[in-house]
């Protein structure tokens, strides 16, 4: 039941993702919604909210769902839709879910370029990030107001990481991802040509988190400062109740190796440098920059990761769980690993300490899917790493049953269910307690 020759392409320079597959509804239900298989752990089940049938994949309405936000009326949700890797094809959808039937969809804002983040601001209003700006949206009529414009580091088909992401600091400031344009800030032969990487320096640097000060009443200062540097791509920025800010790092693409380097979880501190493009893992120098010694990766100049993640796991969504449905998950960090290599296609749950930081294991291992449909555990060999519980231990490709998962936005609904957007397979799923 494959979709012949239909591939969702990543931006220029990245490997193409695997072809999408359909989810196959079963006769039974999951907490009132059509049950689908996605290789879940015992005690969990998945209900289908939205997914195209194989025959209708090309004509689907929501092309590439990314982030979900539940509105005050619990049946209404906002969904960002990339629309593909082409300017002006993205949309912001209003999705009304009234039960197990097909949800109602209305395009609230159209002609967007790579819309991604959805969040409620310090003024209680809703904010959206597209490639080069952050705007406020009025859900009643779809009107928008730009609050931050001209994000120059996010450039479609020029840079590797054109998607914007943001979170609000505790004082209302906007903290905004500006991804790296390149893999290692090197030439086509993988050689660095300057004493330091010009892409990572200055006020307009790439591979940073910017801070835009909050002026109150839904306004932000257009002048930014650099909050943290050396972060190749920060599509996970999640704040713990203690104040800790965690980042999920999509690390380098060392060709042709699929087992290096590890992705990362970083604790973000203002003014710190997290290594890109000079360092990787806990203290290793990247191939392009090792000879130039632009940074001592074993020194305090390099803020080392709090925890490793599997290589090419691609963390694209995270949330601390707080809900009544899964008491055993209370307070844990849930993270979606979007990568289509063996360490990806998972939702995992980390035990955290009092500051919300994943607890390192004594002899940590990570899980990878095998070509015959199994799972192997491999040891980490560089720096600290937590060993999470996998909520989807078998979400690899099972033709005719379910696709390889590609989780992006994770949202805890008011009833405690976990909603997830699977962008590659154009699906929205609801994870609930399995009551059968």
pLDDT tens, residue by residue, 373-395: 899 999 999 999 999 999 999 99
Q: What are phi and psi of 135, to 5 degrees?
A: -135, 155
CB atoms within 10 A of CB 336: 30
Residue 5 lies in a domain: yes
Residue 422 lies in a domain: yes
pLDDT of residue 13: 31
Longest dimension (CA), the chain: 63
pLDDT of residue 152: 82
pLDDT in tens, 275-310: 999 999 999 999 999 999 999 999 999 999 999 999
How open is the CA angle 171-263-63, to the nearest 5 degrees?
75
Structure tokens at 78: 């906002």
Domain containing 333 equals 1-60+328-351+388-436
Residue 55 lies in a domain: yes
pLDDT of residue 255: 78
Average pLDDT over residues 353-364: 97
Residue 18 lies in a domain: yes
Instruction: Please answer whether residues 49 and 103 qualify as being in contact, where contact means their C-beta atoms are separated by less than 8 angstroms.
Output: yes
Instruction: Please answer whether residues 288 and 280 qualify as being in contact, where contact means their C-beta atoms are separated by less than 8 angstroms.
Output: no
CA distance 143 to 50: 26
Closest among 59, 36, 64, 66 to 49, alpha carbons compared = 36
Instruction: Please answer whether residues 129 and 166 qualify as being in contact, where contact means their C-beta atoms are separated by less than 8 angstroms.
Output: yes
pLDDT in tens, 1-54: 333 333 333 333 333 346 788 999 999 999 999 999 999 999 999 999 999 988
pLDDT of residue 159: 80
State the sign of the Cα–Cα–Cα–Cα dihedral 417, 102, 3, 60: negative
pLDDT level of residue 182 (50, 70, 90 thresholds): very high
pLDDT of residue 260: 87
pLDDT: is 197 or 155 the higher one? 197
Residue 198 lies in a domain: no
pLDDT of residue 18: 61
Residue 309 lies in a domain: no
Residue 345 lies in a domain: yes
Rounded to the nearest integer, the mean pLDDT of the chain is 93
pLDDT: is 159 or 88 the higher one? 88
Residue 177 lies in a domain: no
pLDDT of residue 17: 47
The domain tally of the chain equals: 1
Structure tokens at 75: 């049946």
CA distance 41 to 54: 26
CA distance 198 to 288: 14
Three-state DSSP class for residue 329: helix
pLDDT of residue 54: 85
pLDDT in tens, 304-349: 999 999 999 999 999 999 999 999 999 999 999 999 899 999 999 9
Average pLDDT over residues 193-210: 93
| This prediction's pTM | 0.94
Three-state DSSP class for residue 254: coil
């Amino acid at each position: 039941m494959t979709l012949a020759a239909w591939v969702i392409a990543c931006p220029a320079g990245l490997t193409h993702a695997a072809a999408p597959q359909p989810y196959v509804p079963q006769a039974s239900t999951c907490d009132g919604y059509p049950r689908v298989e996605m290789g879940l752990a015992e005690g969990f089940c998945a209900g289908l909210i939205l997914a195209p049938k194989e025959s209708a994949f090309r004509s689907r309405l929501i092309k590439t769902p990314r982030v979900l936000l539940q509105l005050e009326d619990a049946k209404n949700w906002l969904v960002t839709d990339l629309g593909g890797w082409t300017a002006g094809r993205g949309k912001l959808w209003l999705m009304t879910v009234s039960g197990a039937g097909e949800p109602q969809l209305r395009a609230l804002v159209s002609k967007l370029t790579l819309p991604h983040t959805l969040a409620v601001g310090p003024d209680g209003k809703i904010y959206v990030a597209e490639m080069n700006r952050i705007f406020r949206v009025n859900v009643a009529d779809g009107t928008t107001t730009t609050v931050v414009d001209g994000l120059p580091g996010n450039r479609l088909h020029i840079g590797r990481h054109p998607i914007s992401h943001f979170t609000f600091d505790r004082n209302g400031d906007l903290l905004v991802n500006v991804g790296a344009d390149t893999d290692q800030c090197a030439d086509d032969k993988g050689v660095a040509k300057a004493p330091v990487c010009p892409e990572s320096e200055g006020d307009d640097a790439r591979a940073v988190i910017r801070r835009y000060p909050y002026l109150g009443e839904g306004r932000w200062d257009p002048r930014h400062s650099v909050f943290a540097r050396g972060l190749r791509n920060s599509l996970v920025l999640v704040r713990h109740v203690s104040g800790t800010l965690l980042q999920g790092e999509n690390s380098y693409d060392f060709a042709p190796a699929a087992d290096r380097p590890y992705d990362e979880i970083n604790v973000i501190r203002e003014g710190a440098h997290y290594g890109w493009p000079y360092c990787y893992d806990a203290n290793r120098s990247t191939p392009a920059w090792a000879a130039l010694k632009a940074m001592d990766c074993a020194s305090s100049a390099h803020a080392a990761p709090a925890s490793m993640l599997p290589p090419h796991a691609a963390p694209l969504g995270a949330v601390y769980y707080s809900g009544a449905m899964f008491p055993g998950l209370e307070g844990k960090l849930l993270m979606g690993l979007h990568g289509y290599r063996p360490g990806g296609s998972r939702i995992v749950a980390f035990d955290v300490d009092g500051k919300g930081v994943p607890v390192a294991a004594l002899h940590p291992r990570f899980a990878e899917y095998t070509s015959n449909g199994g799972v192997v555990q491999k040891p980490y060999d560089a720096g600290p790493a937590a060993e999470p519980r996998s909520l989807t231990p078998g979400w690899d490709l099972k033709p005719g049953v379910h696709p390889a998962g590609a989780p992006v936005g994770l949202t805890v609904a008011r009833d405690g269910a976990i909603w997830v957007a699977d962008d590659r397979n154009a699906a929205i799923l609801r994870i609930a307690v399995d009551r059968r």
